[in-house]
Structure 1
């Protein structure tokens, strides 16, 4: 068929700049982390099953089930894999942390059945964190409430009182904590309901003729005097003080993060005003804040790596990426012509970034480039708009080409990035109309300015 009857190839928006966005090294790291996550999931699934079977053997001795020795072997395996992962500077996989909490819960339940008391944290593997231990003993109260109903069915008042006493002791200790909005806070709210359930069971036993002791024959009766040996008070007090220290570090980090994030935002505003000297100073202020004020806190308490600190790193990445896109290394700045350079994660020598930090900053960079393109489009700078479109298309292509994105909110940023690319394509089309017809208004640009 003659070529005159065939459609032309698609318009080429990319001019070869896509080749500079090479995320293959980052992709390898993401996939390696994902493999670790999958391995952790498999081990945690086996631990969950082992806990279930061990509990069944505990409650139904005649059932054939795997021994608690199998459970301990799986826990040791999980700890070994976790240590390998953390040796790379990573934090514990959240699935592992929740599984360790379930393990503490089961061990604490077994310890209660053997002694009537709360398990010592020091008797558990040292890899168990304070939060995991607290999570386990908080969830233990639900087991104790269920246990009290079972024993009440057999009219075993003594065991119900022991369960109620331990729950009351745990609740009294937990009331000293200032739990923030998080998984521990949500779990803690259920402890008082477990206590109420035990007290209700005792009341119901009392009205059927059981002797439940003085002041215990009503649901809202005064709590009994707690046995000094019920809780390991010295260990729990040490744990509480460590949690207080972490809360203080968290509050300090949040306050100091505001300064770092503010400096990064101001750097971006300065870059839009083409005030490169101020932007350099503000980026430097942000770097010093991260290294001198924030990083020491995160090094002391690695769990604070995510949240406010990660937000600062992402904002810092965005500012530095935008600076280099406009000015390159800063040696020869041409305000009329941006360099168009997109630096890679390894180019962040001063502050080391995780894949999430860099990719989050890279996605946000496209928004700043879009705003830059609107400004250049208003001035009828076709080359500036083309460079902006070229960069955003390259970034969009690179991100879509990744086999997997790290967890977090990165997937939510892909749709705005796609719309940004389409908007710039429309803008370039409108500019072509301006050149062809001499129009003074570019619709795409006016719409972008209003947004």
Structure 2
């Protein structure tokens, strides 16, 4: 009888030791993924700053030439980010990705923002879902599945970068036409994203940021149109007036958090579920 009890006790201890090892492994994996996601976020921000700096530098080249030069110089950074995603692949095998998706999403969305900005400078269009998925994979397939919510939330952040690009470019040669082009593009993005808000958590709040970005571009374009109609001046003098007009524009969004709101279920636990 005592032998059976001891055996039962040892079995229970072994089971709980297995639970402990599983929890420790889960927490260690989560910390590694969070660190990798933060590294990806930092590199993506540097890539975006590089694209802005080169695409809006003072040059005799047109915007497309400057944009292509910016894209060429940003590609090594994008490849570095993609190598980080490749290093995360062993940590996200099978259903592990769905368990740890919230640790990966912030960096992934920032990467999509950088990739989509680079793609816009090169092609003038939105990067597609399949193109993003292909960029985070190899010949064996994707490193992990890309969700529609991460894709859309990353694309929504692009509108803020396009607003900064439009405001910075508007005082340069050909900048007024470029700003009008970006304004029309952001307006279409806002309209297309609007219908997806009920199905993607966090997108409706980002739509407020998109609306603010669109309003800033429209205000700048309206100001330039009014000023241009008042003076019959050479383009270089008019560009100087334009630069002074937009110098006070604020291109920063305050009270903005990349993470979507979290609600709590009836048990008091945080509910991070998405429709997609």
Unpaired segments ≥5 residues, structure 1: 1-227, 329-339
Name the CA shift for 1:359/1:426 in 2 (closer, same or farther; >3 Å). Answer: same
1:431 counterpart SS class: helix
Separation in 1, partners of 2:89, 2:187 = 34
- TM-fit CA distance, 1:229: 4.8
Matched, 1:317 2:141: no
- TM-fit CA distance, 1:303: 4.3
Contact 1:294 1:309 in 2 (8 A): no
Q: Which residue of 2 aligns with 1:236?
A: 16
- TM-fit CA distance, 1:272: 0.5
Q: Which residue of 2 aligns with 1:447?
A: 248
Contact 1:264 1:283 in 2 (8 A): yes
Name the CA shift for 1:260/1:442 in 2 (closer, same or farther; >3 Å). Answer: closer
Residue pairs, 1:156-175, within 5 angstroms: none
1:414 counterpart SS class: helix
Separation in 1, partners of 2:130, 2:251 = 37
- TM-fit CA distance, 1:403: 7.0
Name the CA shift for 1:397/1:444 in 2 (closer, same or farther; >3 Å). Answer: farther
Residue pairs, 1:282-301, within 5 angstroms: 282-291=77-86, 293-299=87-93, 301=96
Q: Which residue of 1 aligns with 2:148?
A: 355
Q: Which residue of 2 aligns with 1:404?
A: 198
Moved more, 263-272 or 430-439: 430-439
Contact 1:405 1:411 in 2 (8 A): no
Q: Which residue of 2 aligns with 1:308?
A: 103
* TM-score normalised per structure 1: 0.44
Separation in 2, partners of 1:415, 1:406 = 14
- TM-fit CA distance, 1:347: 2.1
Q: Which of 1 and 2 has greater Rg?
A: 1
- TM-fit CA distance, 1:389: 0.5
Contact 2:47 2:78 in 1 (8 A): yes
2:27 to 244, 247, 257: 247
Q: RMSD of the alignment, in Å?
A: 2.4
- TM-fit CA distance, 1:325: 0.4
Moved more, 294-303 or 380-389: 294-303
Name the CA shift for 1:260/1:245 in 2 (closer, same or farther; >3 Å). Answer: same
Separation in 2, partners of 1:343, 1:442 = 31
Contact 2:37 2:108 in 1 (8 A): no
Contact 1:317 1:362 in 2 (8 A): yes
Q: State the aligned residue count.
A: 211
Unpaired segments ≥5 residues, structure 2: 1-7, 55-69, 137-144, 232-237, 253-276
Separation in 2, partners of 1:403, 1:319 = 22
1:391 counterpart SS class: helix
Separation in 1, partners of 2:19, 2:98 = 16
1:342 to 112, 117, 126: 126
